[in-house]
Every structure is written in C-alpha cells, then in structure tokens.
Structure 1
Amino acid sequence: MKDLLVRWVCQDMRPFAVVDDVGFREFSQRCISIGAQYGNIDVNQVLRSAHTISSRTHELADKERSRLKELLADALQNGSLCLCPDLWTDSNQQCSYLGISASFVDDKYQLHSIDLCCHPFPNVKKTAENIFMEMGKALERFDIFDLTQVTFVSDRGANFVKALQHFQAYSCTAHRLNNIVKRCFFINEAKKNEEDSTSTEVSFDDNGPDEEDVDALIDINSLSDVPKKALYILQNVIECKKLVKYVKQSGINKEIKESGGISLKQSTAVRWLSFVNLLESIDRSFLAIKKVLANKKKTFAIQLDVVQGLVRLLLPFKELIIKLQTGKMPSLHYVLIGIGTLQSALSSFDSLLEYEKKNKKYSCKEDLCSLDGDEPRLSDEDEGLRFFRLRLLHLIKEMFKFQQIHYASNMLHPKYRHLKKTGSHDKHSCKSFIRQMMRKIVDQEKSTLTSSSCSSSNNLYEPSPKKIKHFGEDYETGNMSDEYEEDNDELERFLAKRLNILDLPDNPLDFWRNHRMEFPILAKVSRQVFSIPATSAAVERTFSAGGNVVTKRRTNIKPEQLNNVLFLRSYYSR
C-alpha cells in the first residue's frame, strides 16, 4: 500500500500531504466498506470519469445553494445578514472575480460564515455601477433582492464606498489598521521611490528637521520631512526587505533553519500581518542569518535592536488583527476594546514594554535586553522609534472613527455592557441607537401582525366605518403601554441585571440564546449586531483558496466551476 501511494504521488506530482486529507481518507474508507459488503469488485464500477465529477459538482452546488436559501431568507427577514464583497484577479487566467461572503446568525443564535460566491466579473471597468450590477446578479441565485435589509462590510475603496452608499455599510477594521501602518512607515511612497530608482537608499540630509521637533512632525506626509533618526529606522526596514528577497532568491532558507533559525517571511501588500511577520522572522533568526551569510562572504546592514524595537512597536497591531479575524464567533465587540488597548500600549514607552512583556510569545538567545525594563538599553526609547510610536498614535486618532455599532456591540456584550472608559455622551448615544433598533423591530412585528389580522378580517367581515378624527388627535401620546412598554425597558433591565462575570461566556450569542425569553426584543437586536464581522477577512480567505485552486497546472478550470468549487468548500466546512 505504501509503495502504491508513493508511486501515485510521484507519477502524478501530488503533494505528500494529500494522503492526510480528510476527504481522501473518507473516500478510501468508503471504498473499503464497499469491498467488505460486495467483495472484490472492479474499481471502474466505483470511480467515475472527470466529466461526470465535474457535472456532479454543478448539480451539488445548485442543490446546496437551494438549501442555503432558507437560512438566508430567515436571516434577511430578521435583519441579521451581513455581506462582505471584494474583488480579486487570478494571475494565471487573468480573470477577475467578485467575491461575496455571508455572515449571519440563525434562530438558534448560532453564527455562520459562508462564501456565497466567487462570481466571474466581466471584462469591464470596476466602477461602482458595474460592481453594484454584478453584485445583484450574483445574489439573485440566493433570492437576495432587497439589499436595504442587508448590512455590508468592505474595504474603503472608492468604488465600493460609492456602490454601497445607499445601504448600511461599515469599513473593514483590519484594512484600516493596515493602512495606518503603511502610512506610518511611508510604504506607498517608499515603493514608488524604489520603482523610480534602482537604489533603495534613503537620503540622510544633515539639513533635515531636528529631533526636538518630532512631536510636531508626526503628521507629516512626505519622506523628505522625516527626522534623520527616523530615516535610519526606515533604512533598516528597507534592508530587512532586501535581505528576505535575497534569501528567497538564493534559496538559503533551509540553511538558516539548519543553523537554528526559522524561514524568513516575505512582506506583501495584500497580507495584513506580513510586515510584522517579516520582522519577527529576522528577529528569531538573526544569529543564524549572520552565520549563513558569513559563510557566503555576505554582509547586511541591519541592526538587531532596531528590528526588535519595530517588532515591539507593531506587536499590539498584530495581536489585534489576529483577534479581529476570528470567524467562529462574533468579533465586532473587539474593535472598541482593541483600539483602546492599542492606544494605551502606544501612549508611552513604559506601556509598550509592559504590553510586550505580557504578549510576546517567543524569546531569542540574541535578545539584546530583558523584558523587565531594568536593562540600560531599554531605559531610554530610541528617538527614531519614538517618532514612529507617536506617529502611529496620531494616525489612529486621525484615521479611525468609532461608529455607533461599535459601542452597541460592547453594550450588548454581557462582559462589557457598562462601557468602561467611555464618556457619558457616547454611552447615552449608544443607548439611543439600541433603542432605535428595538423600536424598529417592534414596529416591524406590529406591522406584520396588523397585516395578518387585516387580511383575515377582510375575508370575514364588511369594512368597518371610517372613524371621525377629533381635534388634537395627531398630538396625543397614545397608550403609554404601547409606546414605552417593557420592550423599551429591556435595555435598562439588562444593564441593571446582576451577573457573575466569571460565569459569562466569551461568545455573547451564548448569553442571548439563554436569555432570549427574558429580553425578547433586545435578543433580536443582538442577533442583528453580532452578525456583523469586524473585518472582511472571510472573503480574503476565499481569494486565497481560489489561488490554490487555479494554479499553473490547473488553468483550464472554468470561472463558473471555480465558483462552484469554492462555494461547496465553504458550505461543507461550516
């Protein structure tokens, strides 16, 4: 059996890990079971042709889409459906796709995340109008027509912002954080400079601004205005990227690993965590890199203390983005907490050291200093790194604005409901926002009930005579029990409820499933709020999967079949 597997893997150029695939083992077990039941039979009586499997993929995709429609219809009716759209271009086929992932909470208060489609995008400009048109076509297959009942999460691309301007749409937090880091380190400008010149050297102008003016320079937008010591940090960043590029091209990652290091990671614009991962890989392999390059008579101009300082500076961003990308449970409530933690960590050098001490998950023998804060090298913050710490803090305040939905997600989480560290104005606004959502649900239920009653009455009775209005009727407050009944008091009762913090689940939907009878309207509001993810990471993962399906060896797969494959992959994995 082992020899057959080796022969198959080598002849058909399959990865060795294919034998560990769950699907492969399920298929093999099914074949063994068939043999045990029916005896030794011809394999051709069991296996089907590639054409048959391809056709069956179409059939199964349509069948599972029909099943999914029922879940989506219920979520749509209850306002708990959120869609994350994005665009992707396959580099092998040069074909564009519109990906849409759905996040929704069902009537059992279970969160679902499914890749609805990787819809082939026609060869037209990716304008807001064309995006909206193709999005409508893609969603028709799931009977989603009224987009006013849908919430959207997307990046801040101008085309998507315009396409979704008439709907309830929120920005992807991870995209925003990534843009903050890119802007902080002038990544776009540095990239442009690299394209304009073969040299990646940063100019150290002695006539540049003095370090004493660093506080006034944190909001600058051009490399020419950066202080000299901050330019030195940027030079190290460029050298790190050049080093990783050389290691990849020369194929010496294996030698670095054999010398006690780890594989160096490349930084790419489309991967949110790749920049800090690159720095961490150099930090963890610094001695091994020096040893390997010394044997090859190569040197590199990278200072370990700068690399470690950058890792320390970006660690809070990494931890937050990892937290926000969860797809198994609600993540929206992490935004308010995470940004607050980020600002607190960056508020001072001591706070940053304390954060690193609590959250750094690895240590290196070549660490230049301990994390206890008593080493002389950590007693004073490097001026260049201080510039970028203050610049990050400034950019967070400038580029990130909280919306009411962020406060609401915390107030509706039993652990964070009292909005500690939040001002009274924001708390009051949050309560008003939640009450507005509650009233909308109550009005919708009353409207549905009235429509149903009128429909039944019209079939049994004559129309009742029109009631004559009396003076002042339009200004009456009506029955107080209708306007301010206990449905409107649910929020205060929830906030006043005594809860043992140690018994509360991390997943807020678990709490609301258990308390939906006690707080029926508020539970429905929570179902809507916690269906909204903090990021559009799900659709980004769809594109990564698409890149693994369409490879240089598999370029003949049709766009519609790719759509089917990615949908079934997500549907069966949920």
Structure 2
Amino acid sequence: MASANPTSSFPDSRFVNDPLPSATATFNKEQLKSKFNLAILDDLDRKKEVKYTVVANGITKSHAAVWWSKFGFTKEIVSGETHSISNFVSCQHCFATYRYGASSTESISHHQCHAATSSCAFTFNKSHCTLDAYFNKNKKQFRVSEQQNLTKLFSIWISDSFRPISIIDDSGLREICSYFYDLGTKNADRHMDVQSLFQSKQTVSRCIIDQAHYYRVQLTELIKEPIENKSLTISPDMWCDRYRQISYLGLTVTYVDSNMKYHKFTMSCRDFPVDLSKSGENISKILKEELNRFGIDHFDSVNWISDRGSNFIRCFNLNMVIPIHCFAHRLHNVLTVTFINEKIDGYFNDEDIDDIPDKLGQDEFLGNEFITMAAKKILLTISYTKTLVRFVKKTNLNELIVKLGGDDTKTLKQSVTTRWLSLFICVESVYSNYDATLLALESRRTTKYMNDLRKNSLIDLLLLLAPINAALQAIQTDETPSLHLLHQQKKYSKIFQNSCVAEYLLAEPSGVQFFREHIHLELNKIIFDARHYMSMCLHPALHEMNELPEHTKMNCHENIRKLLQEEEAQLSVLDQTTRNDALAMRKQRKMLNQFLDEEDDDEKECTPSSSHQDELDIDQDDSDVYHKSSIRRSSSESSLSTEFSYKTNYQAFKPDELDRYLESDLSSTIVKANPLEF
C-alpha cells in the first residue's frame, strides 16, 4: 500500500481497480469487508455472490457533463435484484470508480481510460463485465472519517501558522507524508517516539548546507561539457523584495548538450549585500564569487544575456565581455517611450521598471508634443481599464463575474510591473468579460466605472498591442532556442498582413495610427547583435535571409567563417601532442633521406657532361624568347585565343562548409521549427 510516489498518500477520491484471475470467486462477509473499503459495503450480512454492472448514463439535462457518455452509476445485483449505488460512478470500459457527490468532479473529467475492453475475459457483454474482477486493489483508500480528520488537521495548521493553502499541493509535503506512512508499516509492532524523528533547526540548517554543496558539485560536473563547447549561456537578473527591502541576484543557465538537447535551470540565487551599492564593480565582484563556486574562472568562458541596466553594462565592460541584450526588456522600453513620450534611460533593471502610469489622460505624460483628441482617447481607454480592474479586485467581484459569464469566463487580470506586456492581458480580460462585468457592476450599482469604456475602444487598443504580445509569446520558449526569431518579430508591420486586419487598417482610427507609427519608429531604432544574424543564417528555414540587405548577409557569412576558423584552431591545439609526435617522426625520415641523397649527388658531381651544360644554355635562351613573346601576347587582341597557354597565380574558388550549406536544397521534411532537430 505504501508507495514511493509522493501523491500516493493523498488520494483524489479515485478507486484504481486491477483485474482478478477469476471473475466468479465467492467471498464471505469478512473477505468482502477486507476487500472493499467502501462505506456502502460495510452493511453486507449475506454470504452470497455479489455482482456489479455499469451502463453509461448518457448526457441528459440533469447530467450535462461530457464524461457522462462513458460513466454511469454502479449497479449491485443481489439475489437477482438490482440496486443502484448513487454515491459512486464508474467507467464502463476500465471500471475505474470515483466518489460522486457535492465535491469537485475534476478528477472524473480528467479520467484517461487505459484498460482495453477486450481485456475482460468474460462471456458477458462488454458493457456488463462484473466489477468483482477489478476490486482486488494493490492500493486501498483510507476511510472517509480518516480523510476528514486529516483535512481538519491541515485546516488548523494553515490557519494557526498562517501557511499558504497552496502548501497542500506541494509535492515535498506529500513525499514526507508517504515516508511517514512507510515508517508506520515497517514499525507497526513497535511503540515508537514520533518526536525523535524531528530534528532541530540547526541540524536541518546544516543538512541544507550539505545538500547544497552536493548538488553544486553535481551541477559543476554537468556544465563542464557545455563550457568546453562554448554552448553555455548565463542570464543574470536582479530584483527587489520591496516588503523586506532586500535585493536578490539570480543566475539562469541555458545550454545545449552534446546530444543537441536544450536545458534550462536556475544555477544560483543569493541576496545582494545590503552594505554594497548596486554598481557595476560590486556586481562584477559578486558574479565572480558565484561563478568560481561552479568552476567558471573567466567571464568569457560562457555567453551572457542581460538587460540594458547601466550597472550590468559597466560590469561586462570591466570584464571585456559583450552580452546579448534581452529583447523583452527592449520591447517594454519601446512601449514606455511610446505612451509616456519621455526620454527615459535606455538602460534599466527589473527593479527599475515602472508600469505605464494610470493617469495617462493628463497632458504632462506626453511632454510638449502635440497630441490629437483621438490619441488622448487611447490613453483614456488604458486609464479607464486599469481603474475598472482595480475596483473589481478590491470589491471581490471576480467571482460574480465568472458566475454570470458561464464556464469559459475568466477573471479580470490586473496590469502589473513584473509581467511583460500585462497591459495587453488586462485589456483582453476586460473585453472578453465585458457583458458579465457590466451585469456584476449593475448588481452593485457601480456602472460608472464602465460608462466611458466602449468595446470598440478596447478592440483598437488590442489591435495596437497584439503584434508586440505575439512577438513576446514567440520568443519566450523554455524548450527551444529563440535567438533566430528576433529579427522577424521586430517587423511590427508584418503582423498586419492578415486580410481581416488589413481591412481594419483601411479605416484605422487616427489615434491608433498615431501610436502605431510611434511604436514602429521605436522598433526601427533597435540594432541587433551580429550573433542574432548568425543564428538566423544557421537556422535551416531562414538560411537564405531574404529580407536582409546584401551587406548584412556578407558580414554575417564572414563572421560565421571566422567562428569556424576559431573552432578549427581550438581543435588543432587539442591535437598538438599527436602532431608533435608525427613531426618528430617526419624529421627523422627527412634526415635519413637527405643523408642518402647527398651520397648520390657526390657521385653525380664527379662526372659532369658538356652536353648537359649546352642543354642549360638552350633552355635559358628559350625562356627569354618565351618571356618576350608572352609580353607581346598579353597586349595584343589575340590574347584571348585558346592557342596560347598562360602562367598565372589564380586558383579556382573552392566552396567551404558554409557555401555548401547555403547552396544545399534542404528537404521540407528535415526543416523543423526547432533548429536542434536539424
């Protein structure tokens, strides 16, 4: 009954049934009670064979859920009479049984039928197999009273100790409970002191330090291979806990191993010393300490991706490293400049990012630049939307909105500073729940929050922000590289090639056009790193780079060739020992051959012939004539004739590895979105 699975100690009210060898076995009362842990079977007092059947209930008005098409109530057959068990429903195919009542039916709706109907080796109809063959369970459920007592203990613990309720779903807690259960089964006959299992805080603290050291050693070994292949990238990030007034510095690692598998994990996270300023020098010092703990001695041993914070820029300049700047930060900067129109610092950290202000209707947010009434309407739409969502959050209207909107209705989302482009999500949630939100406000007599908010205005704002949101969704991947996508996602206007959107643009409001042109202008100011173009060229689906100018392509190809030459140079260094041995052997052979040749030359020099000297003179005269005639032929029009032969230093161009790749006709079957598969 005990299992290493952390979730085994906390059942989801599901009864897992495994088939018995025989379907016609007869059990006495005690055997039945030990076989079934169901409350409905505790009252059995007959020593008779009991059979169970399941027939799908079907979708009706009273049972409208989709899962009713394959689930039904269990029917008990006793002495030829059929009795329905209303507290449980079973799958008609695999006979998995669930408790059915006032509690959630989520586990039923997520049921996956793994057992084939053909596995029922019975003579009955497929939909009328007896459940006796499936009730011999390796894992038995706890009694309802035991589950209720544990629920009360959890409730008291969460309430008294102010623990988050999400701790119930924590896998670590369930693993601990499973371990306690295993200890109970092993020591069932012994009287044990439970308190002896719990150690002091100091002991646990020392254990955490030991475990951290152990896993740090494991990670150090894990990243050795990608560091040697220059495939490991580190992304430093700094943020602030405004409640505790503590800043943290985290390092996220991404790399591709030798098997072309993409990996990502958090390598380090530590609090930034309070007594140190967040200058580039101090950040460099802290980063070096963290890198040394993982066996990374130099900054240039890995690749770097960071935001454009001035302190990070200073840190990388001190260590002579050129990082790749985070594209998401730059998009957020574009929106900030567009809507606020302030010449803000282009370099910022996460803890310095400010959300788009609430009172965007005021003129001071647009400086001295002239703004039309249509553009002000867009700003007011943002302000009204954020004010509405804030009111809904404070008055707990989200539950009522979901209730009024139906099953697919979601709560209103607030625009926050820690999420990229949360303004789009905020506006989208208001637009999707517009009618339900209006009904909820009417019930509280607070419709004033939507008096000036129109659906058309929300659509205009969504179409304005949709391309930026699509770009962020495309590049934020956790399982594949996305560096090659950035140049495509920068092309803001390309998103509008859809026919429906194109028709909208023909009658686009002037306010939307005003901000869209500003966004397009700011996007064009973004200059990419050479590594962006190299990654684009090395992607099999984008290697032609059709939308780039010719000089950009040539520079990209030259950079790739330099990279290949550096790789060859590194390989030559690794093979230097082998080459030195080969050179030593070659020198020995050469010295031996020279010694033998010198003996032969001495013999020939002793008998020089006059005829040989004459031949040399004739050859010299012929060479002079040939030289003079070649000069005359080069200046004459007949120099292109095939009769004449030339001596030239020109060598035919030999295509290298990159040329063969660029000229290859790649089949569509091997070109995938993920370049690692190629």
Go from structure 1 to structure 2 and tell me whether the alpha carbon gap of 1:504 and 1:5 turns closer, same or farther (over 3 Å shift): farther
Q: Does 1:498 align with 2:665?
A: yes
Question: Are the equivalent residues in 1 in contact too, given 2:341–2:367 (CA < 8 A)?
Answer: no
**Distance (Å, rounded) in 2 between the aligned partners of 1:50 and 1:263:** 41
- Secondary structure at 2:575's aligned position in 1? helix
Q: Which amino acid in the other structure matches residue 411 of structure 2? A: S
Q: Map 1:345-384 onto structure 2 (within 5 A).
A: 345=495, 351=497, 354=500, 373=503, 380-384=507-511
- CA–CA separation in structure 1 for the residues paired with 2:307 and 2:425: 22
SS of the residue 2:677 aligns to: helix
Residue 170 of structure 1 deviates from its aligned partner by: 0.9
Question: Does the 8 Å contact 2:167/2:173 carry over to 1?
Answer: yes
Aligned partner of 1:474 in structure 2 is: none
Compared CA separation, residues 8 and 457, structure 1 to 2 (3 A): farther
Aligned equivalents of 1:60, 1:454: Cα separation in 2: 46
| Deviation for aligned residue 1:226 | 1.9
Which is further off, 46-55 or 150-159?
A: 46-55
Report the CA distance between 1:110 and its aligned residue. Answer: 1.6
Aligned to 2:415: 267
1:179 counterpart letter in structure 2: N
Report what 1:23 is aligned to. Answer: 172
In structure 2, do the counterparts of structure 1 residues 52 and 504 end up closer, same or farther at CA, with 3 Å as the change threshold?
farther
Match of 1:247 among 389, 392, 406: 392
Q: For residues 105 and 156 of structure 1, do their structure 2 counterparts lie closer, same or farther at Cα, with a shift above 3 Å needed?
A: same
Select which of 343, 364, 382 maps to 2:493: 343
Matched, 1:489 2:656: yes
- State the match for 1:150 in structure 2: 302
Of 554, 561, 574, which aligns to 1:448?
Answer: 574
* 1:202 paired residue number: 361
Counterpart amino acid of residue 390 in structure 2: K
Alignment-derived partner of residue 232 in structure 1: 377
Whole-Å Cα distance in 2 between the matches of residues 383 and 84 of structure 1? 40
Question: Please, what TM-score do these two structures have when normalized by structure 1?
Answer: 0.70
1:127-526 map, 5 Å: 127-165=279-317, 166-186=320-340, 200=359, 202-203=361-362, 222=367, 224-260=369-405, 261-298=409-446, 299-300=448-449, 301-340=452-491, 342-345=492-495, 351=497, 354=500, 373=503, 380-398=507-525, 400-450=526-576, 489-511=656-678
Distance 2:537 2:167 in 1: 46
Secondary structure of the structure 1 residue equivalent to 2:676: helix
* Per-residue deviation, residues 34-54 of structure 1 (Å, max 9, x unmatched): 555554664556665554433
1:407-456 Cα deviation digits (max 9, x unpaired): 11121112222223222222221111111111111111212322675599
In structure 2, how many angstroms separate the alpha carbons of the residues matched to 1:147 and 1:40? 60
**Residues 1:454 and 1:273: Cα distance change in structure 2 (over 3 Å):** same
Q: Write the distance in 1 (CA, Å) between the matches of 2:298 and 2:360.
A: 54
- TM-score of the superposition, structure 2-length normalised? 0.60
Contact 2:280 2:312 in 1 (8 A): yes
Is the contact between residue 358 and residue 383 of structure 2 (CA under 8 Å) also seen in structure 1? no
Bigger shift: residues 319-328 or 279-288? 319-328
Distance 1:204 1:125, change over 3 A: closer
Q: Retained in 1: the 8 A contact 2:401–2:437?
A: yes
Q: Quick one: distance in 2 between partners of 1:199 and 1:275?
A: 11
Q: Which residue does the alignment assign to 1:77? A: 228
How far off its partner does 1:313 sit?
Answer: 1.7
CA pair 402-63 structure 1, distance change in 2 beyond 3 A: same
SS in 2 for 1:501: coil
Change (3 A) 1:287 1:54: same
Which has more helix, going by share of residues? Answer: 1
How many residues were matched structurally? Answer: 447
Q: What letter corresponds to residue 70 of structure 1 in structure 2?
A: E
- 1:151 maps to a residue whose letter is N
Structure 1's unaligned 5+ residue stretches are 206-219, 357-372, 466-479, 512-574
**TM-superposed deviation, 1:28:** 3.9
Q: In the TM superposition, what is the alpha-carbon distance from 1:156 to its structure 2 partner?
A: 0.7
For the 8 Å contact 2:339–2:366, the answer to whether it is kept is no
Contact 2:342 2:366 in 1 (8 A): no
- Please give the per-residue CA displacement for 1:332-359, whole angstroms capped at 9, x wherever unaligned: 112122223x33125xxxx366469xxx
The whole-number CA distance in structure 2 between the counterparts of 1:113 and 1:333 is 18
Q: Which moved more, 1:71-80 or 1:149-158?
A: 71-80
Q: C-alpha separation between the residues in 2 aligned to 1:455 and 1:58?
A: 48
SS at match of 2:465: helix
Aligned equivalents of 1:35 and 1:353: distance in 2?
67
Aligned-pair distance for 1:303? 2.0
**1:438 and 1:287, CA in 2 relative to 1: closer, same or farther beyond 3 A?**
same
Q: Could you tell me how far apart the structure 1 residues matched to 2:432 and 2:342 are? A: 27
* Paired residue type of 2:377: Y
Q: Deviations over 1:7-60 (max 9, x none)?
A: 232112155544443334444444444555554664556665554433322211
- 1:183 is displaced (CA, Å) by 1.6
Which residue of structure 2 aligns with residue 67 of structure 1? 218
Indicate whether 1:113 and 2:264 are aligned. Answer: yes
- Identify which range, 27-36 or 279-288, moves more after superposition: 27-36
Q: Contact 2:226/2:257 (CA < 8 Å) preserved in 1?
A: yes
Report which structure shows greater RCO (CA 8 Å, sep ≥6). 1
